[in-house]
Amino acid sequence: MGSTNSTLLKIPNVEVLMQETGFSPAHIIRLHDRFKALDKEGRGHLCPHDFGAIKELAMNPIGDRIIGAFFSPGKETVDFHTFVKILAHFRPVDKDRPKEPNSPEPINSRSNKLKFAFQLYDQDKDGKISRDELLQVLRAMLGMQVTDEQLESIADRTIQEADLDRDDTISFEEFRKSLEKINIDHKMSIRFLR
């Protein structure tokens, strides 16, 4: 246990981190090990190509977008705190957490999980998924056999279904509403991050 504590101490502001994210010390250490493994040059922060070196991500159709989600607009590096905070989105929801009225919503709440997913679509961060952005995602996720016309028709249909205020874009509220039947807690949680 001594080594665990000493590793924890090496991470700056680890208490705050644990508080904000809800990760246990064991998890923080595990994520720290992983962070160090990804950061092959030991710079203390990660760049896009560190993520790019993860081979499995290259086989994920939206892998590059997800990598992008780690980097705040304008920044090219991810430090450990940001890394952990983003991953905290994927913690399973704590069902027994008491609802304190004034505390901020935890990072892994259903709403925040949805926001993370929304961001992947909404690349220009204007709070709405435009038809073009949807087309891009569809293109990435569908095989090469699908023609552009087919793609556009799918995109149109999708927007039609979800767009309630008829502005031809999907806002976050519409997004959330259209997915209310889906068990987000289950679909956007990684069990071993509990």
Residue 162 and residue 131: Cα distance in Å, rounded?
A: 12
- The smaller minimum CB distance to another protein, of residues 34 and 100, is found at 34
- Binding residues (CB under 8 A) for another protein: these are 31, 33-34, 37-38, 40-41, 48-49, 51-68, 71, 76, 87, 90, 117, 120, 123, 136-138, 140-147, 149-150, 153-154, 156-158, 161-162, 178-179, 181-182, 184, 187-188, 190-193
- Minimum gap (Å) between residue 100 Cβ and another protein: 28
- How remote is the C-alpha of 181 from its chain's centroid? 20
Radius of gyration of the chain (CA): 19
Cα dihedral sign for 184, 188, 190, 194? negative
Which is nearer to another protein, 16 or 182 (by Cβ)? 182
Of 94 and 132, which has the nearer Cβ to another protein? Answer: 132
Quote the least distance from Cβ 19 to another protein, whole Å: 21
Two structure tokens written together for 28: 């923080």
Alpha-carbon span 170 to 27, nearest angstrom: 36
Nearer to another protein, 8 or 38 (CB): 38
| The residue to which tokens 């989105």 are assigned | 89
